Amino acid sequence: MGAQRKGGTRATEDPEELARHPLQAIILADSFTTKFRPITLERPKVLLPLVNVPMINYTLAWLESAGVEEVFVFCCAHSRQVIDYLENSEWFSQPNFTVTTIESHNSISAGDALRLIYERNVIHGDFVLVSGDTVSNMSLTRAIQEHKERRKKDSNAVMTMVIKQSKPSPITHQSRLGTDELFMAIDPQTKQLLYYEEKADHLKGFISLENMLLADNPSICLHNDKQDCYIDICSPEVLSLFTDNFDYQHLRRHFVKGLLVDDIMGYKIFTYEIHSSYAARIDNYRSYDTISKDIIQRWTYPFVPDVTFFGNCATKVERQGMYRASEIEQSRSAQIGPFTVVGKGTRIGNNSKISNSVIGKNCTIGSNVSIVGSYIWDGVTIEDGCELRHAIICDGVIIKSGAVLQPGVVLSFKVVIGQQFVVPAYSKVSLLQQPTMQDSDEELEYADSNSGTLDSSIAGAMGKLNGDMTAELSGTQHWPASELGPGGAGYIWSISEGGHEDEWRHSVAPIPAEKLAEVMQGIEDDMELLNLDGTGLTPSGELKPDDNSNDSEDDDDSREDSFEKEVEATFLRAVHENINVGDIVLEMNSLRLSYNMTSADCGGAIFYAMMKLALEIPHTAAGELYKNVSSTVSTWQKLLKFYAKEIDDQIEVILKFEEMCLESAKEFSTSFSQILHLLYDKDILEEDAVLRWADEKKDAEESDKVFVKQSEKFIQWLKEASEEDD
């Protein structure tokens, strides 16, 4: 069918291939994150209005203009809403542009989505992979052509990522869109992507590039000044790669990293940099704000409010970037400032001031209202004297007179803010209660398998609740009055810990100056770390493997821990299965070798395991505990002796015991000297070991000497005994 349809939009030398496959695109209409909560609990992200047009329209309109012929929209969260919207829109009736929806209820990540699409077997050639929140006006022709040419030469070039120069200042590089700091390494000649670090580990002041990279490329460009547009041109292999690697979830974190690390298959990713055209993805509230402004300032032309594309209505652009739809009732004394969009049927009262904001359809704004940098969606009522600063107000919200929204507030659907109420900065308010599950941590969002389904289940519950709500609202209101002021309705979501610091980074509100200063300070701290490094220079001028050694220390600790656990497990198994001592020694030895531990470590670990065993046998008093210990020790004394042959090993055992008494098993602390004596009686500890231990502790701090003091008598006795021997 493509033969005739292959329009003049693309000019590739390989008409045959093109004839076979119309250009396809996949839109992921679910970002698989929770960054837009609570709004996304009730409406899918792709349908959220961006300058009064649902986001997905920007993506679809761009794809259509860029010559894509077949689009698959993958819907997951609130899939019904997305499908209904598309069915009612004109997208299904476009010539030369087919839109097909693929619905899934159990996908929890982009990886799952692509695996499902692979199973459907609908993609036949190179395709464009974007998410449904992409705003762009770039031409795909060149990028696809480059991709195809590369593919002809090297079938391993499976993907081309679109990147863009970000703003020049070091601070705004990454903060502009509220995304994480991105470091990339690109081969300047071939544009091959060699390194991708998205979730920058702020503690690490270094990027570590593999030495081998330079072996193949005499020069590499490291970038911190590019942004990833999340527009990928993929070969069909990408889908099968996702299927082969069923643990790939995230497009960047897993797929891209996986391909870059894996050098067996040799798959390559390339980049395509756009210079004059626009491309960005709405990832969080901050990028929502930034991209809205870009649209108003016409960077995304032709996708701007006064050009009719799908889903917007006629708006006229006036001076200073003011867009006003027809049928606006505006009081003469109201002032509408620059870069503001006002939607159809909105009424604005006396002396209200609005600047840098977007106001949707059919809103009612009272008198003396001040709105700065806010996004007000459809059907919102703002009563007199309210003050809004950098807020997002969803459909149907009512803000009663005199209420103040501090910067960064998000009000979800139909929330009511009471009179004179001050909503604190960065708060998120919704009629729905915050889900109690701990999935707000981004790292875990893929781990919890029901986050995708949860949205829909909540939405279901929500429909019911909504019905109740409206009934209730009209009748009696039993909202906790304190939460949102008198007559308020909704819950203020608590900001999950950990996310708190980052709240400003992703919020609609501009980043406060002190935060910027803090970021800069953070950079300086990095430098400080680094200079510490610098002073630790070896004469040869090499960097001391300072942080390496730190790392390995941490490593050591964790290894030691796991070693102890292994030893304990082995020992317990031995106890329960009655394995004889010789066999355990064999097992312990193999453990010891595999963890590269000394026999002293081993002795300590075994002793630890034994004492824990003794502790676990039920006991009531210290005396009973002592009996348990003595029975355990006498059963397993051979084993312990095997690993505590040397004086040093024995000291290690004592130290371990001391540590236990102080930390993990305080129960022993009272009978420390008794047990010490017992170990001596059983010939596990020699007197030399005990004396040397006491000796070592002589100069220790008082707190460290508790146990030495406790066993003073015993030590004294040992000393005398040895003197007598002499």
Residue ranges binding another protein (CB under 8 A): 168-171, 173, 181, 183, 185, 188, 200, 204-211, 213-215, 218-225, 513, 516-517, 520, 523-524, 526-528, 530-531, 533-534, 537, 539-543
Minimum distance of another protein from residue 562's CB (angstroms): 26
Minimum distance of another protein from residue 533's CB (angstroms): 8
Nearer to another protein, 273 or 646 (CB): 273
Of 560, 675, 576, the residue nearest 628 (C-alpha) = 675
Minimum distance of another protein from residue 263's CB (angstroms): 15
Minimum distance of another protein from residue 261's CB (angstroms): 14
The phi, psi pair for 89, rounded to 5°, reads: -85, 180
Contact 62, 98 (CB under 8 A): no
Q: Tell me the β-bridge partners of 492.
A: 429
Nearer to another protein, 513 or 621 (CB): 513
Return the number of other C-beta atoms located less than 10 Å from residue 498's C-beta: 11
Q: Is 393 helix (H, G, I), strand (E, B) or coil?
A: strand
Minimum distance of another protein from residue 551's CB (angstroms): 13
Nearer to another protein, 514 or 557 (CB): 514
Minimum distance of another protein from residue 505's CB (angstroms): 15
Contact 142, 483 (CB under 8 A): no
Strands across the sheet containing 70-75: 98-103, 70-75, 24-28, 127-131, 226-234, 157-165, 268-274
The phi, psi pair for 316, rounded to 5°, reads: -110, 135
Minimum distance of another protein from residue 526's CB (angstroms): 5
Return the number of other C-beta atoms located less than 10 Å from residue 726's C-beta: 4
Amino acid at 684: I
Nearer to another protein, 209 or 665 (CB): 209
Minimum distance of another protein from residue 173's CB (angstroms): 7
Minimum distance of another protein from residue 205's CB (angstroms): 6
Nearer to another protein, 207 or 437 (CB): 207
The structure tokens listed for 712 are 């003073």
Nearer to another protein, 152 or 202 (CB): 202
Going by DSSP bridges, is the β-strand pair 322-325/340-342 parallel, antiparallel, or unpaired?
A: parallel
Nearer to another protein, 17 or 547 (CB): 547
Nearer to another protein, 184 or 380 (CB): 184
Q: What is the C-alpha separation between 352 and 371, in angstroms, rounded?
A: 8
Nearer to another protein, 17 or 526 (CB): 526
Nearer to another protein, 220 or 307 (CB): 220
Inter-CA distances, 606 with 560, 576, 618, Å: 13, 15, 20
Minimum distance of another protein from residue 257's CB (angstroms): 17
Nearer to another protein, 206 or 301 (CB): 206
The burial of 121, by beta-carbon neighbours within 10 Å (0-12 exposed, 13-18 middle, 19 or more buried), is given as: exposed
Minimum distance of another protein from residue 216's CB (angstroms): 9
Q: What is the C-alpha separation between 300 and 498, in angstroms, rounded?
A: 35
The structure tokens listed for 502 are 């980052």
Contact 408, 390 (CB under 8 A): yes
Q: Tell me the β-bridge partners of 341.
A: 323, 358
Minimum distance of another protein from residue 175's CB (angstroms): 11
Minimum distance of another protein from residue 724's CB (angstroms): 55
Q: Which residues contact 324 (CB under 8 A, 6 or more apart)?
A: 315, 316, 318, 336, 341, 342
Inter-CA distances, 306 with 134, 296, 300, 326, 525, Å: 19, 10, 12, 12, 47
Nearer to another protein, 520 or 586 (CB): 520
Nearer to another protein, 476 or 540 (CB): 540
**What secondary structure does DSSP assign to 424-459, as a single string?**
PTT-EEESSPPP-SS--SGGGTTTSTTHHHHHHHHH
Minimum distance of another protein from residue 512's CB (angstroms): 12
Contact 458, 432 (CB under 8 A): yes
Nearer to another protein, 209 or 328 (CB): 209
Nearer to another protein, 216 or 695 (CB): 216
Q: What is the C-alpha separation between 432 and 415, in angstroms, rounded?
A: 10
Block residue for tokens 């040419």 = 149
CA dihedral 33, 38, 42, 46 (to 10 degrees): -40
Q: What is the C-alpha separation between 684 and 647, in angstroms, rounded?
A: 10
Nearer to another protein, 219 or 596 (CB): 219
| Backbone Cα Rg of the chain | 33
Q: Which residues contact 341 (CB under 8 A, 6 or more apart)?
A: 51, 52, 296, 305, 315, 322, 323, 324, 357, 358, 359
Q: What is the C-alpha separation between 462 and 39, in angstroms, rounded?
A: 12
Of 446, 452, 448, 435, the residue nearest 74 (C-alpha) = 452
Q: What is the C-alpha separation between 73 and 71, in angstroms, rounded?
A: 6
Minimum distance of another protein from residue 524's CB (angstroms): 7
Residue 46 is classified by DSSP as G
The structure tokens listed for 10 are 């693309």
Inter-CA distances, 636 with 118, 297, 579, Å: 59, 79, 11
Nearer to another protein, 463 or 536 (CB): 536
Going by DSSP bridges, is the β-strand pair 335-336/315-318 parallel, antiparallel, or unpaired?
A: unpaired
Residue 93 is classified by DSSP as G
Contact 495, 503 (CB under 8 A): yes
Minimum distance of another protein from residue 338's CB (angstroms): 23
